[in-house]
Structure 1
Amino acid sequence: MTSTASGEAQPREPLTTWQNVKFFLSMAPQLPLVARVTLQHLLGRSEPAKYLDLRSELTVAVLRSIMQPAKPRSISSTQRLVVRDPGVRGRIWVANYAAPAPPEPDVLDALVDAVVGLRDPSSEPVEIPRPTIVPVEAEWTGYRAGATDDARLPRLSERELFEEMQKEVTSPVTILYLHGGAYYVGDPCTHRPVTKKLAKITGGRCYSVRYRLAPQNPFPAALLDALVSYMTLLYPPPDAYHTQVAPEHVVLAGDSAGGNLSLALLQTILELQRQGRRLRWFGVDREVPLPAGVAVCSPWMDITVSSPSWQANEAFDYLPPASKYHQIKYPPCSAWPASPPRRHLYASDSLVAHPLVTLVMARDWTGAPPVYLCTGWELLADEDKFAARMFHSQGVRVVFEEYEAMPHCFAMVLPQSRNARRCFDGWAGFIRDVVEKGADGMESKAVMIKARTSEEVELDFSSLGCDAEKMRDRVLAHVADPVDVPSEIVAKL
């Protein structure tokens, strides 16, 4: 069963025989791999077979072969391949909006001040890049209940599409969505199934941001675009379609690198509040208030890839484990290697351990709004558990869900699975509840969800991850070790 925005339970449709046939036909190019995985699964000789059905294990295995090719593509060709808009079709509203750059530089000045303020005082001072303030595009996304599966958008202006979408919005929820893709791929168009589903379950709408991608635009360009987008929601520019959104109706959300960016935006806002900073925004001095909450799926909290789960959980994930991650070399192209050279796609070497880049290095989350965080038995599991433990230890209300045997961003890559449906219900349910109930109406909890039954097993926050100093030492040791950080490296998150 699933819940609609009104709270009514709706039956789920089982997979048809034809759907299963189409799935297995799609695996035809990978027949040797499919045959091997199928045999191991049926004989019970693979670790995932203890927890997953055959369809799910095959999906993860094929994704692994795609994500870990013998001959990697260049960064530029990968970007061109992945970011292709398939068009808008089905039960979804999409209205594009390009938020104009504010005429004042204060939003950039404030961000740079936050980066400086959060720097480890014992570290050497470094130059902070100052990206150009540019217009930031986004997609307003809502659920279109009356459409068919193959319906196209009506021929209306973007503003008119937004107004049609608004007619179906039944909740004050506004989700500022930041997509995943390792900071170098992905787009609002690649994440429409996610934003549509979150809008449907919450009854609200998503503002899905087309932030600038690395390596062409390294840190803090994406974070600047996220901050501009947040201010755009709170204080609409003159040409905006929407009216002013109350901060208590905004939830920051994202997956993988988008989860990193969501929490980096939250940490930025917290730091600006510590500094008592206001922003000059379209001619008016504005506060930068906290959102209602943050809800992230499989967030990439450690850009340095230093946690043990990056090797230990290899059997359950499709991402390249640490041993292979460090060996990936990409053909040179216009985007990579960068000039001047650096080891990491997203940030300069001197900033990779900064707490707005590698979020596990952030020391203070005091005063943050409630946080939802889910993870699987994936390569990022240790850093996600650590983050949940850190939030809880500092008095932040946190809902943590660990999904048994699930890979990275499983709710998106295994959408037909029981746990994907359970994850979306928990993810969207948190978003709806934190807006409707407020922080005082939320309670912390940590659970592990069983793969085959969705049974919840309560977890103790103190048992999640390692302590802060141990995590910090791992990150710094990794950054300092030239063997562990080769010259050409990319994480496919």
Structure 2
Amino acid sequence: MPYLPRPLVAANLGAFYRLALHSTMPAPVARRLLDAGSVLQTLPSGTVVRPTTLAGRRVERVTVGATERPTAVLYLHGGGYTLGSLATHRSLAAHVAGASEAAVYVLDYRLAPENPYPAALDDAIDAYLELLVEHGYRADQVAIAGDSAGGGLSLAAARALIDRHGVRAAALGLIAPWVDPGARDAPFDRDLVVNTAWSFAAARAYLGDGDPADPGYAPLLGDMSGLPPTIVHVGTTEVLYPQVVTLVEKLRAAGVPVDYTEYPTLWHVAHLQASIVREADTAVRELGGFLGRALTGVRA
């Protein structure tokens, strides 16, 4: 599929997300809408998708080109911890796989409100550990990446793996990560994709009976020291922009190597549209390239 004009895609996405991410929309209905919309996001040539499981959860192992890869990325999808699926993120995972030359494992972690915190975090930790124990990878051969809520979950999982298991992932790839769901200091009520009425409701659903200051829920409030090299992308017009800026400042203050890019013309997780928007494809190539370089030394 040829690239489409960015303004045209943005206009149509804005209308779609106003419907799908309406605060009164029941989660099961919103999930079906997002899955239906994902058919426009195509796969690169040479993509192979293999269904499997990790820690009892459904997973898709996505590769582009060679199917046997010595390195891997555990990918955690976005959707406010209440939405998102293997279908919504299959195309993005494939573009990351192509750019990183790694096998990308997209995890179907448990969603709220049916399964509040810490279900998603437990699933992410257990999936990463199973890649090491059952699939023969070393920790320096497996990065973690995710977008929005999945970006926050990636950061929380990386921290928990260090603190609970003494395991440090090879790298982190964070696309507009939602790192403090309990915060109520958004700079405005909505951007092209996210509106605060929906996101605040999703945050409450994910928290359940938990503590909003728990760094597993809000990793921005946790310790950044010792985390692996990290790449962070965010659009400057996003609701989450201030959170992400604070995260990058905290990572750098803790001595974590950070590659940080701001996008003034891209919307929240525009990377999902890498198959149809040139600028989004470029962003995914940058992120995947970073992850691939972090894994390069362990390919042999």
TM-score computed with the length of structure 1 as normaliser: 0.54
1:78 matched residue in structure 2: 30
Residues 95 and 418 (structure 1), Cα distance of their counterparts in 2 relative to 1, 3 Å cut: closer
Which of 53, 76, 96 matches 2:51? Answer: 96
1:142 matched residue in structure 2: 63
Cα deviation per residue 1:181-215 (whole Å; 9 max; x = unaligned)? Answer: 11111112221101111111222211111111111
Following TM superposition, by how much is the alpha carbon of 1:60 offset from its aligned partner in structure 2, in angstroms?
4.2
Following TM superposition, by how much is the alpha carbon of 1:76 offset from its aligned partner in structure 2, in angstroms?
2.9
Residues 345 and 54 (structure 1), Cα distance of their counterparts in 2 relative to 1, 3 Å cut: same
1:379 matched residue in structure 2: 239
Matched to 1:58, the amino acid is A
C-alpha distance in 2, partners of 1:192/1:229?
A: 18
Residues 173 and 307 (structure 1), Cα distance of their counterparts in 2 relative to 1, 3 Å cut: farther
1:389 aligns with 2:239: no
1:184 counterpart SS class: coil
- Aligned pairs for 1:52-63 (under 5 A) are 54-63=7-16
1:403–1:419 CA contact under 8 A, matched in 2: no
C-alpha distance in 2, partners of 1:208/1:68?
A: 22
- Aligned pairs for 1:258-297 (under 5 A) are 258-272=150-164, 288-297=166-175
1:351 counterpart SS class: coil
1:108 matched residue in structure 2: none
1:370 matched residue in structure 2: 229
Matched to 1:66, the amino acid is L
Task: Name stretches of at least 5 consecutive residues in structure 2 with no aligned partner.
Answer: none
Following TM superposition, by how much is the alpha carbon of 1:366 offset from its aligned partner in structure 2, in angstroms?
1.1
C-alpha distance in 2, partners of 1:96/1:309?
A: 40
C-alpha distance in 2, partners of 1:370/1:173?
A: 16
Following TM superposition, by how much is the alpha carbon of 1:302 offset from its aligned partner in structure 2, in angstroms?
1.6
C-alpha distance in 2, partners of 1:197/1:99?
A: 21
**Structure with larger RCO (C-alpha < 8 A, sep 6+):** 2
Following TM superposition, by how much is the alpha carbon of 1:304 offset from its aligned partner in structure 2, in angstroms?
1.9
Following TM superposition, by how much is the alpha carbon of 1:234 offset from its aligned partner in structure 2, in angstroms?
0.5
Residues 365 and 54 (structure 1), Cα distance of their counterparts in 2 relative to 1, 3 Å cut: closer
1:430 aligns with 2:284: no
2:54–2:131 CA contact under 8 A, matched in 1: no
C-alpha distance in 2, partners of 1:307/1:391?
A: 21
Residues 420 and 354 (structure 1), Cα distance of their counterparts in 2 relative to 1, 3 Å cut: same
C-alpha distance in 2, partners of 1:204/1:350?
A: 35
Cα deviation per residue 1:413-459 (whole Å; 9 max; x = unaligned)? Answer: 46533421221121001101111258xxxxxxxxxxxxxxxxxxxxx
Following TM superposition, by how much is the alpha carbon of 1:264 offset from its aligned partner in structure 2, in angstroms?
0.7
1:59–1:414 CA contact under 8 A, matched in 2: no
1:412 aligns with 2:272: yes
1:112 matched residue in structure 2: none
1:421 matched residue in structure 2: 281
1:136–1:210 CA contact under 8 A, matched in 2: yes
C-alpha distance in 1, partners of 2:9/2:27?
A: 28
Following TM superposition, by how much is the alpha carbon of 1:139 offset from its aligned partner in structure 2, in angstroms?
1.2
Following TM superposition, by how much is the alpha carbon of 1:93 offset from its aligned partner in structure 2, in angstroms?
1.1
Which of 201, 204, 208 matches 1:348? Answer: 208
C-alpha distance in 2, partners of 1:68/1:139?
A: 25
C-alpha distance in 2, partners of 1:92/1:139?
A: 12
Which of 121, 125, 138 matches 1:227? Answer: 125
2:20–2:34 CA contact under 8 A, matched in 1: no
1:318 aligns with 2:193: yes
1:421 counterpart SS class: helix
Residues 195 and 367 (structure 1), Cα distance of their counterparts in 2 relative to 1, 3 Å cut: same
1:65 aligns with 2:18: yes
1:93 counterpart SS class: strand
C-alpha distance in 2, partners of 1:420/1:225?
A: 29
2:83 counterpart SS class: coil
C-alpha distance in 1, partners of 2:185/2:200?
A: 17
1:365–1:396 CA contact under 8 A, matched in 2: yes
- Aligned pairs for 1:129-168 (under 5 A) are 135-144=56-65, 165-166=67-68
Aligned residues: 293
2:147–2:176 CA contact under 8 A, matched in 1: yes
C-alpha distance in 1, partners of 2:73/2:176?
A: 17
- Aligned pairs for 1:453-464 (under 5 A) are none
Query: RMSD over aligned Cα, in angstroms?
Result: 2.8
- Aligned pairs for 1:163-178 (under 5 A) are 165-166=67-68, 169=69, 172-178=70-76
1:140–1:207 CA contact under 8 A, matched in 2: yes
1:138 counterpart SS class: strand
2:2–2:276 CA contact under 8 A, matched in 1: no
1:250 matched residue in structure 2: 142
1:175 counterpart SS class: strand
1:300 matched residue in structure 2: 178
C-alpha distance in 2, partners of 1:258/1:209?
A: 10
Cα deviation per residue 1:375-421 (whole Å; 9 max; x = unaligned)? Answer: 00211001011101100001111111111132110121465334212
Which of 320, 339, 360 matches 2:220? Answer: 360
Matched to 1:319, the amino acid is V
Larger Rg computed on CA atoms: 1
Q: Percent identity between the aligned chains?
A: 25
Matched to 2:155, the amino acid is L
* Larger displacement relative to structure 2 (77-86 or 379-388): 77-86
1:180 aligns with 2:88: no
C-alpha distance in 1, partners of 2:60/2:178?
A: 23
Matched to 1:175, the amino acid is V
